[in-house]
Chain A
Amino acid sequence: MGLIDEANCIPVYADPHPHPQPLPTSRRGALRILGTLAPKYALKDWALNVLDTILHSFELLLRVDTLLMMSLGLVLGIFIGALPGFTTTMAMAVLLPISFFLNPVVGIPFLIGVYKGGIYGGSIPAVLVGIPGTGASVATTYDGLPLTKKGQSRKALDMALAASVIGDLSASALTIVLIGPIALIAMKFGPPELAAVMLLSMLVIAFSGTAMVIKSLVMLLLGMFFAMVGQDPIGALSRFTFGFFPLESGINLLPMLIGLFAIPEVLLAIEEKAKPFVEKSVRPEGDRLSLKELSACRRTIARSTIMGGVIGMIPGVGQVVAALTAYAAAKTASPAPEKFGTGILEGVAAPEAANNAVNGPTMVPLLTLGIPGDNITAILLGAFVVQGLRPGPQLFARQAPLIYAILFSMLIACVLLLVLGYLLIPLFSKVVMIRKAYLVPLTVVFAFVGTYVFRSNVFDLYFLIFFGLIGYTARKLSFDVTPLVMAFILTPVLEYSLGQSILLSQGNLFHYVVVERPLALAIILATPVLTWLMWYRTRKLRNPDPVPGGEPATAE
């Protein structure tokens, strides 16, 4: 946090070249009132700065176009999430390019809307037809479908919506409170610490991924290789271009993201031609959820929210594990565990609160350190980078109001989700009847146009196809593409930070790290321990009761 120029009430951030503007009268008044109330100067400065950041973020955020695009994102997210076989990650990848041409406080909340809508949308077919729209809704099918068979599908869908919104809203609010102090710690990081954190993150992602460790390591190395194609990040020297001109500028992140996350979904969908997602017609029926029924599930929702929030902060674990773990915990804590699976509202509330509570906390490592914890935050990172914003400690120092505006947009998105979800549930329940024969070709068009518009370079389309093929093959051969994407994003940062560290060390890196950078040394020493711990914990979370031949929970 920076200081306040009290004479003019001008915030001064930790930007080396700040361009402060006079505050509007309303904000000056609010700051002066707080200034008189705060007893100590240090506390006053801090409080004034926080308040100013928050007020400034609301100024940025409260625009009609932001709310409209966020609503559109939610509707599109629920629509795609409600299609069995189409994932939230695919929705984000295909719709990502739209955000490039919008203001950051419009484009990124639009994607946040898609994200939240997609995770919730998966619960609609999970309840109505017992097919999870996204992986995150697998546990919702356990009690969702039995409730539908009892004629209480509307109640189940309402509970899914309410639990999703409560879980997401609480976890997002907690994220906003916690992210500032975490960012302050991250701001102390120099190149050696950053390099150490990058290495730790890459290893944690590989070891806590959904695939086997050895396969994740192969994907990690493949991602590192792709990141090296083009120019090295320090001297801009050519590497692995093989005399092919389009490779001179390196491989672009966008064709990789859309190729890995959208094209495989298309290819998997078309393996079986033409069928609609669901054969029979479905529509919500029965009474709506009462406040009494919602209140009866408050403990389950609170427990699941906490579990989802904690799991969300762990890189690479995600919604699927959160939902399954919360469902198991709710069953264990219940006085009548035998009723789980027979169609009770708690069985819907637990996974839905947990999988949506993951959404907010995944932003913590992304925004404070620039480390995406999963595929969705990797896509969000792409949106930030294209907007000229590189998430990490420096962005927090220079653009704190923008970051908080984006964080507050998560809360607004939750409220909009409640309204839109409540009103549009009957409409979205019909989505599952759409024929793949029309939807799949249109997805192809969106993937191609999204890739093309970024640089208007036709070679990006061939990269898209190439990465689509890699993604499809990876899915078929049980490889997880997340480590590949993470390595592709983090390797240039790691290499650059290491290069800077070597220059700072004046030729003796070992001595420099051991003597002058104790934090970097601590992170390096903790890396094997933390990696093992994360591997052990995630393995336990995924397989609480090992079933021979059982499939592990797979992330989207």
Chain B
Amino acid sequence: MSAEAERPSQRGIRINFNTVLAAACVLFSIFLFAVIPSEVERPPVLFGQQSNGLDPAFFPHLVATCFLIVGLWYLRASFSLNDVNGFRGLKRGNYVSVGFTMLMFVVYAAILQPLGFVLSSALVVALLSIFYGARHWLTILLVALGVPAAVYVVFRRLLTVALPELPDF
């Protein structure tokens, strides 16, 4: 949400992040109504008779309708809401930290199976620790290798749960 968007408009209506979210709710309800016919499977017709049970599309329609009503209510209420947008207080460095961490999450999910649990975890822990300011190499190494290895042993030996193993090089 830009600063301009949060500034009161000429008509005295305060457009803020809540207004945007409320509009998104209304749009989402329209989207739901649009996709229900194609995304909700119809019950089979047996011996030419329709089922007299609960229609699988009933709840989707109910939720879509409620989204529309709540979205419009939220839209109307949003103009007078004074909620603080928590993202506005963040500095560039905060965004970089969060962005880097999210990127590491995706990388971790992608490499967990190919590289195995211990190796991928060690890599992620080491990179994140260094990024967050850890500079003591021995501690980084101990934490990055020791803890995933211990977790691996606990899950494999004590809980008999399979975790991705090291690849065959």
Q: Nearest Cβ distance between residue B3 and chain A, in whole angstroms?
A: 17
A224-B59, A448-B108, A468-B105 given as contacts; is B53 within 8 A of A499 (CB)? yes
Complex CA–CA separation, A440 to B127 (angstroms): 12
Which residue of B has the minimal Cβ distance to A449? Answer: B151
Q: Does A456 belong to the interface (CB within 8 Å)?
A: yes
Q: Nearest Cβ distance between residue A492 and chain B, in whole angstroms?
A: 10
A237-B40, A240-B35, A271-B98 given as contacts; is B148 within 8 A of A445 (CB)? yes
- Check A239–B60 contact: CB distance below 8 A: yes
Q: Does B115 belong to the interface (CB within 8 Å)?
A: no
- Check B41–A445 contact: CB distance below 8 A: no
B63, B97, B108: which has the most chain A beta carbons within 10 Å? B63
Q: Does A217 belong to the interface (CB within 8 Å)?
A: yes
Q: Does B23 belong to the interface (CB within 8 Å)?
A: no
Question: With a CB–CB cut-off of 8 A, which chain A residues contact B161?
Answer: 101, 453
Q: Does A24 belong to the interface (CB within 8 Å)?
A: no
- Check B132–A271 contact: CB distance below 8 A: no
Q: Nearest Cβ distance between residue B83 and chain A, in whole angstroms?
A: 5
- Check A442–B109 contact: CB distance below 8 A: no
Complex CA–CA separation, A469 to B125 (angstroms): 20
Question: With a CB–CB cut-off of 8 A, which chain A residues contact B27?
Answer: none
- Check A438–B101 contact: CB distance below 8 A: no
- Check B124–A444 contact: CB distance below 8 A: yes
Q: Nearest Cβ distance between residue A210 and chain B, in whole angstroms?
A: 13
- Check B41–A237 contact: CB distance below 8 A: yes
Question: With a CB–CB cut-off of 8 A, which chain A residues contact B147?
Answer: 442, 445
Q: Does B87 belong to the interface (CB within 8 Å)?
A: yes
- Check A239–B109 contact: CB distance below 8 A: no
Q: Is the interface of A mostly helix, strand, loop or mixed?
A: helix
A102, A235, A458: which has the most chain B beta carbons within 10 Å? A235
Q: Does B21 belong to the interface (CB within 8 Å)?
A: yes
- Check A445–B125 contact: CB distance below 8 A: yes
Complex CA–CA separation, A478 to B87 (angstroms): 11
Q: Nearest Cβ distance between residue A82 and chain B, in whole angstroms?
A: 19
Complex CA–CA separation, A458 to B144 (angstroms): 22
A225, A240, A449, A507: which has the most chain B beta carbons within 10 Å? A449
Complex CA–CA separation, A237 to B56 (angstroms): 7
Type the 1/0 row for A305-319, where 1 means its CB is closer than 8 Å to any CB of B: 000000000000000
B52, B53, B87, B90: which has the most chain A beta carbons within 10 Å? B53
Complex CA–CA separation, A393 to B66 (angstroms): 30
Q: Does B54 belong to the interface (CB within 8 Å)?
A: yes
Question: With a CB–CB cut-off of 8 A, which chain B residues contact A33?
Answer: none
Which residue of B has the minimal Cβ distance to A224? Answer: B63
Question: With a CB–CB cut-off of 8 A, which chain B residues contact A102?
Answer: 159
Q: Does A427 belong to the interface (CB within 8 Å)?
A: no
Complex CA–CA separation, A507 to B59 (angstroms): 18
- Check A274–B148 contact: CB distance below 8 A: no
Residues on A lying within 8 angstroms of B by beta carbon are: 98, 101-102, 212, 214-215, 217-218, 221, 224-225, 228, 232, 234-235, 237-242, 263, 266-267, 270-274, 435-438, 440-442, 444-446, 448-449, 452-453, 456, 458, 461-462, 464-465, 468-469, 472, 475-478, 491, 495, 498-499, 502-503, 506-507
- Report 7 cross-chain contacts, Cβ distance below 8 Å, ordered by A residue: A235-B51, A272-B97, A435-B134, A448-B112, A449-B163, A475-B86, A507-B52
| Interchain residue pairs A-B with the least CB separation, the first 7 | A274-B133, A476-B86, A441-B128, A499-B54, A461-B109, A437-B134, A437-B132
